[in-house]
Amino acid sequence: MRVRNKYRKSTAFPCNVGSRCSISIVVWSLVGFLLMLQIYSLISHGNTVSGDIKLRMSRHPLVRELEQVEEENIQIPPPRGKRSPRAAKRRPKRTTTLVDEFLDENSQIRHVFFPDMKTAIDPLKDAGNDSFYYYPGRIWLDTEGNPIQAHGGGMIYDERSSTYYWYGEYKDGPTYHAHKKGAARVDIIGVGCYSSKDLWTWKNEGIVLTAEESNETHDLHKSNVLERPKVIYNENTGKYVMWMHIDDANYTKAAVGIAVSDYPTGPFDYLGSQRPHGYESRDMTVFKDDDGVAYLIYSSEDNSELHIGPLTKDYLDVKPDMRRILVGQHREAPALFKYRGTYYMITSGCTGWAPNEALAHAADSIMGPWETMGNPCIGGNKMFRLATFFSQSTFVIPLPGIPGSYIFMADRWNPADLSDSRYVWLPLIVGGPADRPFEFNFGFPLWPRVSIYWHRKWRLPLSWRVTK
């Protein structure tokens, strides 16, 4: 009996301290499960990316041209005058960067960033081999021969008219500072609208939401701020709904404005403004999902985080649901798009009118969690990439025909003359190896890389263009 009891005791020993055994089993089982899930994720991710690349390469060889980026070698000019040794000792001069030259309206290389009217894109004059080429940073003329005024803009494709409509800030006025420390600004003129069948030739449809000239208490009084207008179509009501950033000259109102129209070309009736969910709202956008549900995404809490939440069924208000995303990352200028069930977003840092580094983010659910993937910019040079090609994100246009292919829309702000701010449109492609794994989830999901390719000159493959 003793022997049997002793035997029974010794064989039962691992399970008597049973909790330790159970925890070990659970932990190792979980590790094994996670490893299997990771392997599956890598295999399925590899197959998806490989399939996308093969599809693009086999059906559309011109995509390879868009991925052959151009490099830039811009020499910073020498200083105009020598400083006295005493002044240099008192305040050593830091090294001048390309961003400094970009912001200097008297820079000797300003023409690199802001080419003059002689190089303007004129779709009515450019013919033959020059047709349909985009030149990021050049002046872009409409069909009347005037520079396009659609800054901080967005775009919709209207299926009923098979037409693209581009909405943006109409800034064709003098740039000034409301007070000594105030940011450069232009009085509100309104929201401009342009239409196109081919994404290259743009007809001016006029100002579809106009400023208020006399009533100083009105949101749209010319002394206030109207930025980043975005329009979505509501199938349930048959209305075109515009959301925009509404502010005062000191950026203390921090609200969103809503306007509505029966037609894409307006006129839009202004309905009023609000602080969504009771929070500040500055740079913002709206995104309409495949199921028709629309969402508002806006910078809040002194631009330290983004908030996101669904709109009501008529798109005229926000629902109570709201999530904080990218908390503490200080991101603005959100531009969202969706590919194969994954949501992607490009954002910029918060440096006023000065350019900074773009980041790409991804999520399996639009309400989050959102993870940062890294800088999507490829080509140019290091400073070009760190300055998002001297521009700031505003919208991403899906292109039919090739999975994972888009146009990245950005503004090259000119704080010395905001009316002369330029447009930077570049190819954006989802595909290729993931930027990097994410620590919190053991390296998965691995989303395909988001890449924005720099070109001094490029055009869409023929199959992408909308038939006139």
State residue 273's pLDDT score.
98
Where do the domains of the chain lie?
61-73+89-459
For β-strands 323-325 and 331-339, DSSP reports them as unpaired
Digit-coded pLDDT (tens) for 326-375: 999 999 999 999 999 999 999 999 999 999 999 999 999 999 999 999 99
The answer to whether the CB of 243 falls within 8 A of the CB of 296 is yes
State residue 69's pLDDT score.
83
CA–CA distance, 359 with 388 (Å, rounded to integer):
9
Cα angle at 196 between 377 and 348, to 5 degrees? 25
Architecture of domain 61-73+89-459: 5 Propeller (2.115)
State residue 36's pLDDT score.
60
State residue 437's pLDDT score.
45
Q: Which residue's entry shows tokens 């000191």? A: 250
State residue 131's pLDDT score.
87
The answer to whether the CB of 299 falls within 8 A of the CB of 332 is yes
3-state secondary structure of 430: strand
State residue 432's pLDDT score.
63
Q: Could you tell me the sign of the dihedral formed by the alpha carbons of 307, 327, 371, 444, in that order?
A: negative
Count helices and strands in the chain by DSSP H and E runs: 7, 25
State residue 27's pLDDT score.
60
Say which residues have a Cβ less than 8 Å from residue 263's Cβ, sequence separation at least 6.
Answer: 240
Asked, as a colleague might, if the bond just before 445 is cis with ω within 30 of 0, I would say yes
State residue 43's pLDDT score.
46
State residue 101's pLDDT score.
93
End-to-end CA distance of the chain: 97
Which of 105, 205, 107, 104 minimizes the C-alpha distance to 150? 205
The two structure tokens encoding residue 190: 């309104």
The answer to whether the CB of 324 falls within 8 A of the CB of 332 is no
The answer to whether the CB of 411 falls within 8 A of the CB of 391 is yes
Q: Which residue stretches of the chain have pLDDT < 70?
A: 1-63, 80-93, 127, 432-445, 463-468
Q: Assign residue 339 a region: left if phi > 0, alpha if psi is -120 to 50, beta otherwise?
A: beta
